[in-house]
Structure 1
Amino acid sequence: MSSITVRNLDESIKAGLRLRAARNGWSMEQEVRSILQKVVGADGQAQSMDFAQRIQQRFQGLDASGLPIAARRASRTPPAL
């Protein structure tokens, strides 16, 4: 793993990163990692996560508690062969 240092970062950007990280429940450093993986990973350069991890990360902030649940229907009768 490598490290980078970003100098002269605007305070509003830093504050926004801090808020995003808090919403996601992780550190500001992890938030930056996540953003970079999404952006650079889109080009195929930083795909270190497997498919399941990418799906989990993409839908992590989704609040599905308010989504309607469709009523169940009886399954169809199987065809007679």
Structure 2
Amino acid sequence: MASMTIRNIDDQLKTRLRMRAASHGRSMEDEARDILRAALSTEKRPSSNLAATIRARISQTGGVTLELQPREPIRESIDFGG
């Protein structure tokens, strides 16, 4: 396995890492490994537009077919003048 050294970490960040490691009952080094593993384990998907994202999510459920209502002629406007 490879090893690495991280330099120039500000004191506040190191303290937060130490506190987080302690709350999980492990060393700072093990906690840092876990954070890196979690951050890099998810695949970054190419960004797409909102409509494509919604369409992709809905298509997994089989989609929905809606009946189109017949169009009606435009109604006459109401005269409020009295």
* TM-score w.r.t. length of structure 2: 0.51
Cα RMSD after superposing both structures: 1.3
Q: Higher relative contact order by CA 8 Å / sep ≥ 6: 1 or 2?
A: 1
Which residue of structure 2 lines up, in the alignment, with residue 31 of structure 1? 31
2:22, 2:35 → 1: CA distance?
14
Per the alignment, in what secondary structure is the counterpart of residue 35 of structure 2? helix
* TM-score w.r.t. length of structure 1: 0.52
* 1:14-48 Cα deviation digits (max 9, x unpaired): 0000000000000000000000000011128xxxx
Q: How many residues were matched structurally?
A: 44
Per the alignment, in what secondary structure is the counterpart of residue 26 of structure 1? coil
Which residue of structure 1 lines up, in the alignment, with residue 21 of structure 2? 21
Larger radius of gyration: 2
Gaps of 5+ in 1: 45-81
User: After the TM superposition, which parts of structure 1 deviate over 2 Å for at least 4 consecutive aligned residues?
Assistant: none
1:13, 1:27 → 2: CA distance?
15
